[in-house]
Structure 1
C-alpha cells in the first residue's frame, strides 16, 4: 500500500500530555481514529487493520485495548437477530 504524509500542527504540550514522543503520539492518534471509525461502522476490521499496518488479530487486540467490541451490530441487524431468536430460528 502506498502512503502519503500530511502535515499536522499540534502544540508541544500534546506530546507531554500523553507522555509520548511525537512519532508515538501520531501513531496513537491513527489507532484511535481507526478504532472510532470502526465503532461508528465507517470502515471494516480488515480495512482498519490494513490502514494501521496491523494483522486483523492485532487490530482485534487494539479494539480490546480501547474497550470497543469486535462485534458491531447495526440497529436493523440486531432487530433481525432478536426476531429470529424470539421466533426460534437459528441464524447460523
Structure 2
C-alpha cells in the first residue's frame, strides 16, 4: 500500500540558507526533523509517526533525540505507576 504524502512549500530567505552553510535541501530536512522533535515532545505524534516525519526509522530517531539532548521517553507519574503495575502483573503471569 502506497503512503499518501503532501508537498508543502515554504519560503526561506536566501540569507538564512547562506548563514546556515547548508544546501536548501538540507535545511528542509532539518526543519522536518526539528518539527518531528517538537511534535513528539508535545505528544502530538507518537515515536513512530515522529520518526516518519523526520525521514528516519525509530532507532535513528531515538539516536537523533539523544544527539539533540532531548528526553526520549517522558512518562508522567501516572504512566509510571501504570507501567509498574503492568510489570508486576506480567511477572505473576510468567511465574
Q: Same fold (TM over 0.5)?
A: yes
What is the aligned length? 84
In structure 1, stretches of 5+ residues that fail to align are: 82-89
Aligned equivalents of 1:41, 1:73: Cα separation in 2: 11
Q: In structure 1, what is the equivalent of residue 12 of structure 2?
A: 10
Q: In structure 2, what is the equivalent of residue 59 of structure 1?
A: 61
Of 29, 40, 47 in structure 1, the residue corresponding to residue 42 of structure 2 is 40
- Measured at CA, do residues 57 and 10 of structure 1 come closer, stay the same or move farther in structure 2, by a change above 3 Å? same
Say which structure, 1 or 2, has more relative contact order (CA 8 Å, 6+ apart).
1
1:34–1:48 Cα contact (<8 Å) kept: yes
Q: CA RMSD in A?
A: 2.1
TM-score in terms of structure 2 length: 0.74
Please give the residue correspondences for 1:71-82 in structure 2 after superposition, counting only pairs within 5 Å.
Answer: 71-74=73-76, 76-77=78-79, 80=81
Of 12, 26, 29 in structure 2, the residue corresponding to residue 27 of structure 1 is 29
- Measured at CA, do residues 75 and 16 of structure 1 come closer, stay the same or move farther in structure 2, by a change above 3 Å? farther
